[in-house]
A = this chain, B = another copy of it.
Amino acid sequence: MSVELRQRIYEELDSLILVDPHTHINPHAPASETLADILGYHYYTELAHSAGMPKSEIEDPDAEPRERFGRVIGYLGPLRNTIQYSWFVDIARAFFDFSDDHITPDNWEQLYDQALEKMSQPNWPDEVLRISKLESVFLTNDFDDRLEGFDTNVYIPCLRTDELVFHLHKPEVRRRLEGATDTALTNLPALKDAIGALFDHFVSRNARACAISLPPDFAPTRVLDGRAETALENVLRTPEDCDQRDCRALSNFVFWTLTENCAEHRMPFDLMIGVNRGVYANGVFQGQDLYDSRVSLIQYAELFNAFPQVTFPISVLASVTNQELVSYAWIFPNVLTSGHWWYSNTSSFIERDLAARLEAVPGTKQIGYYSDMYKLEFGLPKFRMYKQVLAKVLAERFVIDQGWSEQQAVQLGSQVLRENVDRAFPKLG
| Interface positions of A (Cβ within 8 A of B) | 1, 3, 46-47, 49-52, 78-84, 86, 276, 279-283, 287-288, 290-294, 296-298, 301, 304-305, 308, 318-321, 323-324, 326-333, 343-344, 346-349, 352, 355-356, 358-365, 388, 392, 397-398, 400-402, 412
Contacts and interface: CB of A to CB of B under 8 A. Distances in A.
Contacts of A3: 1, 400
A273 B290 CA distance: 18
A53 B82 CA distance: 44
Sorted from nearest, which 8 A-B pairs have the closest CB atoms? A51-B362, A78-B364, A348-B355, A78-B362, A81-B363, A292-B296, A292-B298, A327-B343
Nearest to A353: B348
Contact of A301 (B50, B80, B290, B398): B290
Contacts of A51: 333, 362, 364-365
A328 B293 CA distance: 12
A50 B290 contact: no
A263 B52 CA distance: 17
A15 to B, nearest CB: 21
Nearest to A335: B50
B363 A356 contact: no
B81 A290 contact: no
- Total identical chains: 3
Contacts of A276: 298
Contacts of A356: 346, 348-349
Contact of A50 (B81, B333, B397): B333
B363 A79 contact: yes
A261 to B, nearest CB: 22
A321 B281 CA distance: 22
Residue from A1, A294, A329, A330 whose CB has the most chain B CB atoms within 10 Å: A330
Contacts of A398: 81
B330 A323 contact: no
13 contacts: A47-B330, A47-B331, A49-B333, A82-B360, A83-B359, A84-B360, A276-B298, A280-B301, A280-B305, A281-B305, A291-B327, A293-B321, A348-B352
B363 A343 contact: no
A283 to B, nearest CB: 6
A364 B51 CA distance: 7
Given A78-B365, A349-B323, A363-B80, A52 B333 contact: yes
A331 B290 contact: yes
Nearest to A328: B290
Nearest to A102: B408
A288 to B, nearest CB: 7
Contacts of A86: 402
A291 B50 contact: no
B304 A365 contact: no
A144 B124 CA distance: 68
A46 B335 CA distance: 13
B397 A348 contact: yes
Contact of A279 (B298, B333, B388, B401): B298
Contact of A280 (B291, B324, B332): B332
